[in-house]
Amino acid sequence: MPNFFVTGGAGFIGSAFVRLLLDELPACDVVNFDALTYAGNPDNLSDLEGEARHRFVRGDICDPRAVLDALGEATDYLFHFAAESHVDRSIESAREFIRTNVLGTQVLLDAARARRVRRFVHVSTDEVMGSLGEDDATFFTEDSPFAPNSPYAASKAAAEHLVRAAHHTFGLDCVVTRCGNNYGPRQFPEKLVPLAISNATADDPVPVYGDGRNVRDWIYVEDHCRAILAAAERGRAGEVYNVGARNERRNLEVVEAILDALGKPRSLARFVKDRPGHDRRYAIDPAKVERELGWRPRETWESGLRKTIRWYADHADWVARARSGDYREFYARQYGAS
């Protein structure tokens, strides 16, 4: 029976991944280690109450004692999702990003060695590779040079370097996945897709940065999670796998698709001041993950967006709770009180 240790499993992607493990593996044991920051949401795990294979531990990955206590001697796979993940917040202040994303990753690597974890799976991002030209036919590959442009991306790049060093120096079995922009249920509504859905649902304007022509490569969250599991099971130690669904979209196109699906006027899209240092285009070449791991996305953009919009419509209480408290303060700082 495989033992899993998941960090950040109360967040958007981590909670989808925990659910995938429990769905796919009838016999398994999952320890879910999460600090429950503003982005960590116990609501994301409420349907797992009473699930004997899942144990939630509240703890900070920067605390070596807490990590060692929670990490048993027989962990097969450690999946590292926990992070500060929002670019705009990293522009406000990078401090927590350095603490959690850099220091926290090193604490986990040290603990994984001490506890003889069989494999360390590090969840990274395409943003470590910087920005591509708007109209050129170039793509991020696993060999693209690092060129992080935001404090968030820089902290994730540093984390990846530490993972690489743990593999190279100490022989820790590590695999890295680098994915593009995820969308799907349970994403904190500070990110573009859930922000657009929840604002449009409330007939509020949807802020579009700059000229709205920045390109992101979108993937449905469950498809990303399946790629991470495939990398754990079939990936080669020390390798990086870029994960993408060949789905480039301009931001304005994303917002308009959401407004159309909700039957709202496109005039709700509101151009606002651009993000400083805003990366122009991300686009992933997923040839390696497809070839080596036999992974393919299951959802199209249309089917994934339909599922996503339906989930937020069916979970108005989740949205209302997520949009209270800290979110309201951040929203007022970022976009001005409305």
- Looking at 20, 25, 36, 94, which residue binds ligand NAD (CB under 6 A)? 36
Q: Which two tokens stand for residue 5?
A: 């240790």
Q: Give the contact letters, 135-174, x = binds to ligand TYD (CB under 6 A), - = no.
A: ----------------------------------------
Stretch touching ligand NAD by CB under 6 A, among 81-89, 108-116, 135-143, 272-280: 81-89
What is the C-alpha separation between 283 and 281, in angstroms, rounded? 7
- Looking at 13, 153, 227, 322, which residue binds ligand NAD (CB under 6 A)? 13
Cα angle for residues 277, 280, 286 (degrees, 5° grid): 125
Please report, in angstroms and rounded to a whole number, the separation of the first and last CA atoms in the chain: 52
Q: 268 vs 283, which CB is nearer to ligand NAD?
A: 283
Count residues near ligand NAD (CB under 6 A). Answer: 30
Q: Is residue 197 within the footprint of ligand TYD (CB under 6 A)?
A: no
Stretch touching ligand NAD by CB under 6 A, among 76-84, 280-288, 301-309, 313-321: 76-84
Q: Give the contact letters, 61-100, x = binds to ligand TYD (CB under 6 A), - = no.
A: --------------------------x-------------
Q: Which two tokens stand for residue 318?
A: 């989740």
Per the annotation, the verdict on 220 as an active-site residue is: no
CB of 97 to ligand TYD, least distance (A): 13
Angle separating helix axes 221-234 and 12-24, nearest 10 degrees: 60
The SS3 call for residue 270 is strand
DSSP β-ladder status, 174-179 and 269-272: unpaired
* Contact of 233 with 173, CB cutoff 8 Å: no
Per the annotation, the verdict on 126 as an active-site residue is: yes
3-state helix, strand, coil in the chain (%, to 5): 45, 20, 35
What is the C-alpha separation between 73 and 43, in angstroms, rounded? 30
Identify the residue whose tokens are 């249920």. Answer: 185
Which of the listed partners (ligand NAD, ligand TYD, none) does 14 bind, with a CB threshold of 5 to 8 Å by partner kind?
ligand NAD
Write down the catalytic residue from 152, 183, 220, 312: 152
Which of the listed partners (ligand TYD, ligand NAD, none) does 66 bind, with a CB threshold of 5 to 8 Å by partner kind?
none
What is the C-alpha separation between 21 and 230, in angstroms, rounded? 11
State whether the Cα torsion 298-234-290-194 is positive or negative. Answer: positive
Helix (H) or strand (E) holding 179: strand 174-179
- Looking at 32, 78, 90, 104, which residue binds ligand NAD (CB under 6 A)? 104
Q: Which two tokens stand for residue 179?
A: 């994915």
Could you give the strand order of the β-sheet that contains 119-125, starting from the edge strand earlier in sequence? Answer: 54-58, 29-34, 3-7, 77-80, 119-125, 174-179, 240-243
Per the annotation, the verdict on 110 as an active-site residue is: no
- Looking at 149, 214, 242, 308, which residue binds ligand TYD (CB under 6 A)? 214
CB of 217 to ligand TYD, least distance (A): 9
Catalytically active residues, by annotation: 126-127, 152
Site of interaction with ligand TYD (CB under 6 A): 87, 181, 191-192, 195, 207-209, 214, 216, 251, 275
Site of interaction with ligand NAD (CB under 6 A): 7-8, 10-14, 34-37, 39-40, 60-62, 81-85, 100, 104, 123, 125, 156, 179, 181-182, 188
